[in-house]
Amino acid sequence: MAASHDLPADRLVRTAPERASLDALREVSGEVDGQMERHSVRQFFIAEKLGQDRGLEIDRELLVCVAFLHDAGLFPGASTGGVYTNDGRLLAQRVLAPFDWPPARMALCLDAIEQHHALHSRWDWGAEVELMRLSDLVDVVPRLVRFGIPREWLRELFAELPRRGFYRHIWSQFVRGLRERPTTIPGMFRPPSRPTDSATLG
């Protein structure tokens, strides 16, 4: 699928793993600059802002890859019929395998995808895991939670990366999930409760 380097997602990409992650999202979604792609870009910038405001050193490349792939399991092209956050984890493992990331780094990436709907804090899993969980909430319900991000900063982000049609898209994906894999919906909010043993990924 052809890419335009004028698009926000393409401008975000700096490395081969980031490009592979964006290409994978575009392949499974069948869209370039679609709703999920723009959500991913907004979510990265929100996560980055949350990290900066807390004085955290974050793995930018990992965070970009997670942002592009965290919701990819929603799409039929990535679905195994299981919990969609786990399907996203499996897709990311395949997409990033050629880059020979250290096991602990790969585990952090995969956990950030699988845990992004967890109902409780994930700081003890790694900053990137919790930043993706928080940033997803901010982009989905910015009127309810901002975690210290100024409203003006968010208004500027949303002006640059409009959310128009985003809720309709989320609703359509949720309805499809209810229809195609209804018993898996609760699992997205109850992911595995212990960090991945990185030794199993080596």
> If DSSP codes are grouped into helix, strand and coil, which group holds residue 121?
coil
CATH of domain 12-201: 1.10.3210
pLDDT at 2 exceeding the cut of 60: no
Instruction: Provide Rg for the chain, Cα atoms.
Output: 16
- Give the residue from 183, 171, 144, 138 showing the smallest Cα distance to 157: 138
pLDDT in tens, 137-190: 999 999 999 999 999 999 999 999 999 988 888 888 778 877 888 888 888 888
- Count CB neighbours of 16 within 10 A: 11
pLDDT in tens, 58-86: 999 999 999 999 999 999 889 888 899 99
pLDDT at 197 exceeding the cut of 70: no
What's the whole-number average pLDDT of the chain? 91
- Count CB neighbours of 45 within 10 A: 19
How sure is the predictor about 192, in pLDDT bands with cuts at 50, 70 and 90?
Answer: confident
**Residues 6+ away with beta carbon under 8 Å from 18:** 12, 61, 64, 65, 68
pLDDT over 90, % of the chain: 74
**CA–CA dist 106, 89 (Å, integer):** 10
Q: What is the pLDDT of residue 79?
A: 87
Where does the chain show beta strands of DSSP type E?
none
Write down the domain spans for the chain: 12-201
How sure is the predictor about 117, in pLDDT bands with cuts at 50, 70 and 90?
Answer: very high
**Residues 6+ away with beta carbon under 8 Å from 41:** 8, 9, 12, 67, 161
In the structure encoding, which two tokens stand for residue 162, read together?
């409009």
How sure is the predictor about 35, in pLDDT bands with cuts at 50, 70 and 90?
Answer: very high
pTM: 0.90
Q: What is the pLDDT of residue 10?
A: 97
> Which run of H or of E encompasses 183?
none
